[in-house]
Amino acid sequence: MSPTHVSHAVSTPPAARGLLAFMEERGLSGHSFRVCHLTAAVCRRMGVSSRPTEVITTAALLHDVGKLAIPSSILDQPGRLSERDWELVRDHAVIGERTLRLIRGLEATAPLVRHSHERVDGFGYPDGLVGSLIPLGSRIISACDTWDAMTSDRPYRTAMSREAALDALIASAGAQLDVDVVAALVTVLTRESVS
Ligand SMILES: [Fe+2]
């Protein structure tokens, strides 16, 4: 789905457009728009009201903004990352938070981006938050991000089949991902034909 197509479904706040232009140049926008679109559908499914949905979908769109600070040679590396490079990649959540905190109109997205790589079992980063201590928006973004990562080709592996990705998504509920969020996402993916 193209960014233009999705932007009709989810409005892009003016403050986010400049960042998105940079993200597009780095090849980060397609994934971001897909995650955003899916996040909006999960918010709808879970009955999240309109203002929080707006903040959560904007955070979804910008959840990888911190990757702008990471060299392409690391992000696009086909092989296994060294421990040092992997640490740098993990920093993108905090870099994203710090960036968004400074932009008027996007401040509310900052904590959601910071926590979008936490896991409900507490083994995520940067803070190792557990379960419902992770903001709901971050739990939704995390599930949608995971789905899009599994079903897209990456420099280091090809995409999983939809069936295998659905099985993996369901298997991760309660460990990596939130059980209720996964249930809503599976419903969206299987009944609403959103991918
Ligand atoms: Fe992502």
How many A from CA of 31 to the centre of ligand 1?
A: 7
What are residue 174's phi and psi, to 5 degrees?
95, -15
CATH fold label, 3-191: Hypothetical protein af1432 (1.10.3210)
Query: pTM for the complete prediction?
Result: 0.92
Contact (Cβ atoms closer than 8 angstroms) between residue 129 and residue 93 = no
C-alpha 128/C-alpha 117 separation (Å) is: 9
Q: Is 67 in the active site?
A: yes
Catalytic residue among 37, 63, 67, 139: 67
pLDDT digits over 70-123, tens only? 999 999 888 889 999 999 999 999 999 999 999 999 999 999 999 999 999 999
pLDDT digits over 134-176, tens only? 999 999 999 999 999 999 988 778 999 999 999 999 999 999 9
How many A from CA of 114 to the centre of ligand 1?
A: 12
**Strand, helix or coil at 184?**
helix
Predicted local distance difference test score (pLDDT) of residue 133: 98
What are residue 154's phi and psi, to 5 degrees?
-120, 160
C-alpha 67/C-alpha 147 separation (Å) is: 19
How many A from CA of 172 to the centre of ligand 1?
A: 17
